[in-house]
Amino acid sequence: MEMSSKTAREIYAEVKSNPARKKFGFGKKAALINIDPQKAYTCVGEFKTAYETDPRQLEYINELAKKFRAKGWPVVWTHVAYMQDASDAGIWGTRTDTEDSLQNIKFGSRRSEFDDRLEIDRVKDVIYLKKMPSAFFETQLQSLLVWHQVDTVILTGGSTSGCIRATAVDALSRGYRTIVPEECVADKHESYHFANLTDLLLKYADVEDVSSVYQWLDGSTPEELSVIAD
């Protein structure tokens, strides 16, 4: 094992700036998957479980959603919530049992609600309830992507070390080009955040500046989709 005194942020910066690092790249059609941007994780100062990395994260996510809708591409929002007795939380809900614990995000609670700053189109967008880290696990996401002939997924939300990573691994395993806009994901601590961005970069996804994702979306007109380079 290689030893280092560098911080997770420093290691990430080195990996990201490596010009020899091959990218998966964007494909022909994408889906935007916004993972658990709910109050339990976004309302910093109200809930201990909440976190913020880039203060404009939700603004960027809203802009991405607008661009996806304009292209007629899928916009997906996921959230977690559990029954009153938490009997649907599985083994994941057994490690702690405090008011801040995962299994105590109850249906109908403020912690289960999407952040009020999000611009969700409840007619056009897709909303999935999930129980486990990956947005693919026991949801209809895979069927949705197949129907829309998607080959690329853009992941936003949190946490970087948890549900983002789990979804990225599942996306890669299913053959999707996976893109993580750096400013659009967040975690509780910078160490977890940057260590997992590094791991995503090296193994499972392309971590891009959100401006690069905007540029791709703005440049990919329906007529151009068939000639986008792999």
Q: Can you count the helices (H) and strands (E) in the chain?
A: 7, 7
- The three-point CA angle 172-8-190 to 5° equals 90
CB 139 within 8 A of CB 171: no
Residue 43 annotated as catalytic: no
Treating both helix axes as pointing N-terminal to C-terminal, what angle do 190-199 and 8-16 enclose, rounded to 10 degrees? 30
Catalytic: which of 163, 180, 197, 213?
163
Q: How many CB atoms lie within 10 A of CB 62?
A: 16
d(CA 29, CA 118): 23
Task: Enumerate the active-site residues.
Answer: 163
